[in-house]
A and B are shown apart, each in its own frame.
Chain A
Amino acid sequence: MSDSNHISGADAIILALQAEGVETLFGYPGGAIMPLYDAMFRFGNQMRHVLTRHEQGAIHAAQGFARVSGKTGVCITTSGPGATNLLTGLADAFADSTPVVCITGQVNARLIGSDAFQEADILGLTTPVTKWNIRITCSEDLLQGLSQAFYIARTGRPGPVVVDIAKNVLLEKIHFDYQICAGMPSYHPEPVPDDKKIRRAADWINQSERPILFWGQGVLLANASNELRLLIDKAGLPAASTLLGLSAIPADHPLNMGMLGMHGNYAPNVLSAKADLIVAVGMRFDDRVTSDPSTFLPNARVIHIDIDASEHGKVMQPHLAIVGDAARVLRSLLDYVEPALHADWVAEFRVLQEMETDKVMNSDLSLAGEKIQMGAMIRRLSERFPSNTLVVTDVGQHQMKVARYYKFNTPRSMVTSGGLGTMGFGLPAAIGAKIACPDQPVLALIGDGGFQMTMQEIMTIVQEKTDVKVVLLNNGFLGMVRQWQELFFAKRYASTELLNPDFVKVVDAMGLPSKRISTSRETDSGIDWLLTSNGPCFLEVVTDPEENVFPMVPPGVPVSEMWLEKKLTLIV
C-alpha cells in the first residue's frame, strides 16, 4: 500500500467527525492534542471550533448544544489537567443522560504510566462518570473506537463517552476507511417492549379512578411529546413532570399539573398519595421527587416505563415494569386505552392549585413591592419573550423559580442541571444552546453564586458573538443554602453571604453591554432593553435578598405533607 492512501491520525479524526455530521466542537488546546488542532487549522476550519475559557465551560457548552438539539455534543481537550477539568461536566451529563463525546489528548503511548508531564489516568478517572470510555494507544484502533463512541453516546439511554487518544496516534499514518457504527454484539440499545405488559398497563389505566402520569426527560430524549400529549388527552390523565421533563407538554395544557418534587407544585405532590395508579414514563424516581421512598405513593399501583432496565426497582419497586423507548411504548398504549375524563379527580387538583395560587403564587408573582421578587421577574420574562425562547438556568433558588414560573411551550426549550445540580452550568450551557439553535432566542437565567463559578465564559460569548441574553438574579447570597439555614439551622448563615463585585462593570469591561435594575418598577424597562439589544447583553437584576422558595418538601417529610409556607421546626 502506498503512503498516499494514508493520512495522519489527527486528519483521520477530523474526517471521522465530519462523517458523523459534527459541525461544532467545543474545546481548549494544549500539548498532547496539538496535532488535532493543527489538522483543524489545515482543513481550513471547516468545522466551527468554540474556544471556551475553561474545559468545564467546553463540556457544559457541549451539553447545552446536545440538550436543545438532540445531537451529540463534542468536546476536545488536552491531557492531564485539560481532561480532569471535564470531570464535573461528565458527571453532570451522566446524571442527566446527555449525549456527549469528549476527545481528550493523552501523552505518547510509550510514556503512559511513567508520570509524564500532563499525564493523568483519564480512563481511571472517568470510568465512574461515563457511559463508556476507551484509551487508544495504537492507530489501528482509532477509527473503530471513534465510531463506537458516537454510537454509544447517542443510542439507548444517551450518555457521555470519553475517547482518550495517545499523542503518537495523532501523528501516525493510517488508512482511512471510517464506517459509522451500526451495532455492537454486547450492547442492545433498543429493547423491544413487551406487548402483553403494555396491554396490561392499558387495562390498569382503564380501570383506574385516580390515575396520575409522571413524566421525565425520557419523553424528550425519545421525542415522544406528541405521543404523551395524545395519551393524557385520550385517557384523561392528570400529568406532572420532573424538573428535566419540563417543556415536553405546554405549561398551559389543562392536564399539565406542573412539577413534582421538593419545590414542585402542591397539587401533584399532595395528590400522589391519594392516586390509585401512577404511570411513570422516562423518569427515575430521584430522591428530590420521592422524598422518602417508603412513604411515597402509599395507595398506588406503579407502572414504570423506561428504556434503562436498571432503573426498574432501583428506588421504587414497580408493580409493572416496561422496558422500552418512551415513544414506542406510548404509541402502543394509545391504541389500547379507552377515552376517559376523570372529572372529579381533576377537580381535586384544581382545589389545591387554587390554594397554591393563594398562599404562594400571588405574593411570589407580585410586582407591587419595591424589591424585585425573582418569581415575578421570571414570569414577566416568560410573558414577554417569544414562545420559542430557549431558557437555560444555573442551579439554586432561581432555578426552582424558573421551573415553577416560566411557562414552557416547546419541547427541549428548558435546559438545566438536574441530577448533579452543578453550579456554573448555566452560562456555558447557554452558549452551546445558542450555537445549536441560532434562530431561537436564548435566555440564560443565573444566580450570583453560580455566575462567579464560570463567569469567564462571558469572554467566549464576546469572542464568538453568541447572542445570549444573560440575566443575573443577584440576591447577594447562596440563596438555596441560606434558605435551609433559615429553616433548619436557626438562621445561622454560615458562609452563604457573598461579597460580590460590581457585575455590570466587570461584564462591561469584558466588552458586553450591561445594565442593572433593582426596583420592581424597572422590570419592564429592563426586559425592553434585553429585547431591543442587538446581540448578546447582560442584565443584572438585584432581588430581594431573603426570598424563599415555597412550597417545599422538607427532608424526610412525605411529599403529601408538603409545606406551603414557613413552619416552625425543630432546630437541627
Chain B
Amino acid sequence: MKNSYLVTVYAHDRIGLLLRIAQLVSRKNLSIERLTLHESAVPGVTWINLVVKTDSHTIHTLVKQLEKQIEVLQAFHVVEPVRVGFSESEQKTRQLIS
C-alpha cells in the first residue's frame, strides 16, 4: 500500500549534498512531491524535509541508504498526516494562477 511519507534528514552542508539525496530518491524510481531545506539550529547542518509517495518497504530501504551517506547525521521518516484544505499562501498562489 502506498502512503505519503515525510522524510527528515540532518546533514552537514556541502556542495552536492542535495544532488546526492535527490539521486537516491530517483534511483528508487520515486518522485519528490515536496522538498524544503533550511539551515538547522546547528550552524553548518542542513535540515531537509521531503515527501515521497511509496510503500513501507521502499521507504525503509531509502531511509537506510540516506542514513549511510557520509554527510548525513540522521535520517528518519513518518507517515505524513493527511492535510485538510490549503494554507493561506497556497490559496494566494491558486488565486494568482487561476
Contacts of A133 in B (CB 8 A): 16
The interface bits of chain B over 44-70 (1 if a CB of A lies within 8 angstroms of the residue's CB, else 0) are 000000000000010011001101101
Query: A186 near B70 (CB under 8 angstroms)?
Result: yes
Tell me the residues in window 2-34 of chain B with beta carbons closer than 8 Å to chain A beta carbons: 11-12, 14-16, 19-20, 23, 27
Taking Cβ atoms with an 8 Å cutoff, the residues of A that contact B are: 123-124, 127-128, 131-135, 152, 184-187, 308-310, 312-314
User: Is the interface on chain B under 10, 10 to 19, 20 to 34, or 35 or more residues?
Assistant: 20 to 34
Main secondary structure of the interface of A (DSSP, over half): mixed
Determine the residue in chain B with the shortest Cβ distance to A132: B70
Majority secondary structure of chain B interface residues (helix, strand, loop or mixed): helix
Is the beta-carbon distance between A135 and B16 smaller than 8 angstroms?
yes
From A127, A134, A184, A185, contact of B19 by CB (8 A) = A127
Report B21 CB to chain A, min CB distance, Å. 10
Interchain residue pairs A-B with the least CB separation, the first 9: A310-B64, A186-B73, A132-B70, A310-B65, A310-B68, A187-B70, A123-B16, A128-B23, A314-B61
A310 touches B19 (CB 8 A): no
Our pick among B19, B61, B67, B73 for the contact of A313 (Cβ within 8 Å) is: B61
Smallest beta-carbon distance B16→chain A, Å: 5
Task: Write 23 A-B pairs (CB below 8 A) sorted by A numbering.
Answer: A123-B15, A123-B16, A123-B19, A124-B16, A124-B19, A127-B19, A127-B20, A127-B23, A132-B70, A133-B16, A134-B16, A135-B15, A185-B12, A185-B73, A186-B12, A309-B68, A310-B61, A310-B67, A310-B68, A312-B64, A313-B57, A313-B60, A314-B61
Alpha-carbon distance A185/B70, docked complex (angstroms): 9
Give the complex CA separation of A308 and B61 in angstroms.
12
Pick from B11, B57, B70, B73: contact of A131, CB below 8 A.
B70
Give the distance to chain B from A113, nearest Cβ to Cβ, in Å: 12
**13 additional A-B residue pairs with CB within 8 Å, beyond A127-B23, A308-B68, A314-B61:** A123-B15, A127-B16, A127-B20, A131-B70, A152-B70, A185-B73, A186-B11, A186-B12, A186-B72, A309-B67, A310-B67, A310-B68, A313-B57
B71 at the binding interface (Cβ < 8 Å): yes
How many angstroms from the CA of A308 to the CA of B11 in the assembled complex?
19
Cβ contacts under 8 Å, A187 to chain B: 70
Give the distance to chain A from B84, nearest Cβ to Cβ, in Å. Answer: 34
